Structure 1
Amino acid sequence: MAVKLTKKQLAVLDFLQDFTEENGYSPSYREIMTGLGLTSVSAVAEHVENLVEKGVLKKVPGAARSLEVLDYKHEETVGLFKARMVDCTEEEKKVLGQAAEILGLDLG
């Protein structure tokens, strides 16, 4: 099932991705607000929370500049990881778990 995003949510994700690629760290809420021409930080916070709930954005609570765009366009990747982990050794599970973490996949 594909994740449905609004135009503004897509704009937030695109801005986050571009900013992070250019600067090596994610933008602050105020930088997102300014970059997208929004009028309040609370609007940015609402968009961010909605994107986290939809599983397309990851953030570390209490950490500054911790926003990370997840690969929401290929949700089948999670299914492939889970299917592969069913019949593998403990060492393979460890490696797959590490790869999933690097990719930002939630195998929970």
Structure 2
Amino acid sequence: MPGRFNTTKECKSLALESTVLRDEDIQAAHVKPSIVDTQNDRDSDEERLQAEIDADLGGIQKAVQRLKERALEISRDVGGPVYDLEGQGRKTDRTDDKVLRNQAKLDRLR
């Protein structure tokens, strides 16, 4: 009978070959999705890292603002020059502070 296997050995050989081919097909099919999954993982990792960086940057900016405010308070408390906190290095207008101090002196004299 043509097309039929005469021996058990031929049947086992064909079965083994088809199993190997199926395993290779399955592995090949899994390679493509894993590449896509890897790219998606990288994208999500980058997004997560960017979110962490943005959060850290926001915290740093808030801390810098608090430090600037505290430096201004200390400068006013000790009566030293009050500098522009935006890094310009110019003295700010201190007339309000002088008026308040003079008003306090007048109140004490009364």
TM bucket by the smaller chain? under 0.3
TM-score, structure 2 normalization = 0.25
TM-score, structure 1 normalization = 0.25
| More contact order relative to length (CA 8 Å, sep ≥ 6) | 1
Q: Which has the higher helix share?
A: 2
Q: Which is higher, the Rg of structure 1 or of structure 2?
A: 2
